[in-house]
């Protein structure tokens, strides 16, 4: 059955949404989970891209969250509830096609559902999203995906951490959206915050700014659920785009916390969401001048992620998330390997598959091994690279440099792991022949 064989390709967010759809069908007394039920549930479990896509097409995503959610966690109830209607199964096939070999997320499933609704002429489901067609949403989400990819590629580690804090604040305040107040408060909480020195040089009280930012965070509404994952509001995404533009205007390779503040100030000038910023005497030209004046913020400085490509940044972000969830203060090489294995389409994962190994099995083996290691058990907010991981990434940079590549790809990171003794031992314990793997990677790069 599609629901059984396909589920391993689905993201955790989508598994939760599909479990909720079956639970909804059961509560409605339906003998099958049909397309209208699926669509209704997907509209309550939108991810970043689908949320923004609907909003850009003139729909208010908040008004679409109309159902009464149940108490489900996704995994245990995956097979519970009525069976899936054949049309729903077809929409799942469409979603997998939309993902193009990558992990399937709610945005792909929403496109798959709309395509199935149009192909099968499901009038009742069409009425739930008026004026939104499969082609319109696909085109809009494609533009948003490209924009986000360009912005994410320029993130520094500090910005990644600040966005984690912003999302955490939204969760704690039970908000469905990550607004400018969350973004601003998250930026203040990043410990390596260069912007604090900028504020100090301008005679501004950063503590008072943080307090005002937190005061602006309002409590969420009744729609909140424990499984809800907040998405960025249009204003917040606009602030990130503006931050990227500020960094590029200053000829920075990557943007940091200072640029986040500049982006928030510019977005606030347009929307007036945070009136206290004007009341406290913050002026954009002075802020820009102070950022440029700081010696540590020059375009010549090589930040941790400056030379890494989009696939590598995605893998390293996943590695940081793994370490954080496990209560580890450091990102170790085993976390990095799991990060590489998260995307089956990156060069590292393809090379591992060519070597005749099951990457899903390897990821499970690695995760089970490091979860047994003694740790604090508490979720960490900030993580940094271990000495061995730093060495492996430096070797990855050298590999890319030797090949004349401008960006460090995931295959270079895998070669970096093979260049440290601990990395070889870890891979061999997972059942890999490191010599064969290294030769395969080098041969592919020379082809």
288 and 160 inside one domain: yes
Q: What is the pLDDT of residues 184-215, one digit of tens each?
A: 888 887 665 667 767 777 777 777 878 888 88
pLDDT above 50: residue 59: yes
What is residue 259's three-state secondary structure? helix
pLDDT above 90: residue 338: no
pLDDT above 50: residue 315: yes
pLDDT above 80: residue 166: yes
Does residue 72 contact residue 46 with C-beta atoms inside 8 Å?
A: no
pLDDT above 60: residue 377: no
**Is residue 415 a part of any domain in this protein?**
yes
What is the average per-residue pLDDT within 346-355?
82
What is residue 231's three-state secondary structure? strand
394 and 346 inside one domain: yes
Number of neighbouring beta carbons within 10 Å of residue 316:
26
316 and 180 inside one domain: no
**Is residue 407 a part of any domain in this protein?**
yes
| Residue 194, pLDDT score | 65
Which residues share a beta bridge with 384?
330
| Residue 306, pLDDT score | 59
pLDDT above 50: residue 354: yes
**pLDDT confidence tier of residue 217, bands split at 50, 70 and 90:** confident
**pLDDT confidence tier of residue 309, bands split at 50, 70 and 90:** confident
Does residue 408 contact residue 342 with C-beta atoms inside 8 Å?
A: no
**Is residue 298 a part of any domain in this protein?**
no
Domain containing residue 318:
310-446
Highest averaged pLDDT of the listed ranges 120-129, 224-233, 375-384, 410-419:
410-419
265 and 391 inside one domain: no
79 and 105 inside one domain: yes
134 and 172 inside one domain: no
**pLDDT confidence tier of residue 165, bands split at 50, 70 and 90:** confident
330 membership: H or E segment, kind and range: strand 330-331
135 and 65 inside one domain: yes
What is the average per-residue pLDDT within 31-41?
90
| Residue 376, pLDDT score | 47
Highest averaged pLDDT of the listed ranges 16-25, 57-66, 214-223, 227-236:
16-25
**Cβ neighbourhood burial of 99 (10 Å; 0-12, 13-18, 19+):** buried
| Residue 75, pLDDT score | 39
**Is residue 302 a part of any domain in this protein?**
no
CATH of the domain at 6: 1.10.1780.10
173 and 199 inside one domain: yes
Q: What is the pLDDT of residues 235-271, one digit of tens each?
A: 888 898 888 888 777 766 567 788 888 889 899 888 8
**pLDDT confidence tier of residue 110, bands split at 50, 70 and 90:** very high
Q: In whole numbers, what is the pLDDT of the chain averaged over residues? A: 77
28 and 128 inside one domain: yes
241 and 287 inside one domain: yes
What is the average per-residue pLDDT within 60-75?
49
| pTM for this model (two decimals) | 0.56
| Residue 102, pLDDT score | 81
| Residue 374, pLDDT score | 44
Domain boundary among 133, 148, 163: 148
Domain boundary among 293, 327, 353: 293
Task: Please tell me the total count of domains within the chain.
Answer: 3
pLDDT above 60: residue 3: no
**pLDDT confidence tier of residue 72, bands split at 50, 70 and 90:** very low
Domain boundary among 125, 148, 171: 148
| Residue 318, pLDDT score | 79
Helix axis angle for 410-418 and 333-341, nearest 10°, is 140
* Least confidently predicted of 146-160, 273-287, 395-409, 414-428: 146-160
**pLDDT confidence tier of residue 293, bands split at 50, 70 and 90:** low
277 and 232 inside one domain: yes
Q: Considering only CA atoms, which of 229, 236, 242 is closest in space to residue 181? A: 236
106 and 208 inside one domain: no
| Residue 220, pLDDT score | 52
pLDDT above 90: residue 111: yes
- CA-to-CA dists, residue 318 to 28, 134, 322, 341, angstroms: 38, 30, 6, 10
d(CA 367, CA 334): 8
272: region left, alpha or beta (phi > 0 left; psi from -120 to 50 alpha): left
Q: Which residues contact 236 (CB under 8 A, 6 or more apart)?
A: 166, 177, 178, 179, 180, 182, 183, 267
């Amino acid at each position: 059955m599609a629901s059984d064989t396909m589920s391993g390709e689905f993201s955790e967010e989508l598994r939760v949404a599909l479990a909720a759809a079956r639970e909804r069908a059961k509560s409605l007394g339906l003998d099958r989970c049909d397309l209208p039920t699926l669509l209704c549930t997907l509209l309550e479990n939108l991810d970043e891209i689908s949320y923004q896509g609907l909003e850009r097409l003139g729909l208010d995503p908040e008004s679409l969250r109309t159902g009464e959610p149940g108490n489900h966690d996704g995994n245990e109830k995956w097979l519970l509830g009525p069976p899936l209607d054949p049309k729903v199964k077809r929409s799942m096939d469409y979603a997998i096609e939309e993902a193009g070999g990558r992990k399937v997320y709610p945005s792909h499933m929403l496109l798959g559902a709309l395509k199935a609704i149009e192909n099968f002429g499901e009038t009742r489901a069409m009425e739930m999203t008026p004026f939104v067609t499969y082609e319109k949403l696909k085109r809009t989400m494609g533009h948003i995906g490209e924009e986000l990819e360009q912005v994410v590629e320029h993130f520094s580690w500090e910005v990644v951490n600040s966005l984690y804090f912003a999302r955490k604040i939204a969760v704690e305040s039970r908000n469905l959206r990550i607004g400018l107040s969350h973004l601003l408060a998250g930026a203040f909480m990043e410990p390596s915050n260069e912007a604090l020195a900028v504020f100090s040089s301008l005679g501004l009280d950063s503590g008072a700014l943080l307090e005002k930012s937190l005061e602006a965070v309002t409590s969420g509404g009744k729609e909140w659920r424990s499984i809800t994952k907040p998405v960025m509001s249009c204003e917040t995404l606009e602030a990130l785009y503006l931050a990227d533009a500020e960094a590029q205007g200053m000829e920075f390779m990557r943007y940091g916390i200072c640029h986040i503040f500049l982006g928030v100030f510019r977005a606030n000038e347009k929307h007036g969401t945070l009136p206290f910023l004007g009341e406290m005497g913050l002026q954009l030209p002075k802020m820009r001048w102070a950022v440029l004046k700081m010696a540590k913020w020059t375009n010549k400085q090589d930040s941790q992620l400056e030379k890494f490509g989009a696939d590598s940044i995605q893998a390293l972000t996943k590695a940081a998330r793994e370490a954080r969830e496990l209560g580890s203060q450091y990102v170790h090489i085993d976390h990095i390997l799991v990060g590489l294995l998260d995307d089956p389409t990156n060069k590292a994962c393809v090379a591992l598959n060519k070597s005749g190994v099951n990457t899903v099995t390897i990821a499970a083996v690695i995760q089970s091994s490091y979860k047994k290691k003694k740790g604090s058990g508490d979720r960490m907010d900030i993580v940094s690279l271990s000495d061995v991981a730093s060495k492996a990434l430096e070797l990855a940079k050298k590999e890319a440099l030797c090949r004349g590549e401008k960006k460090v790809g995931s295959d270079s990171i895998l070669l970096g792991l093979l260049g440290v003794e601990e990395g070889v031992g870890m891979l061999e314990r997972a059942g890999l022949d490191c010599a064969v793997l290294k030769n395969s990677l080098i041969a592919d790069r020379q082809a």
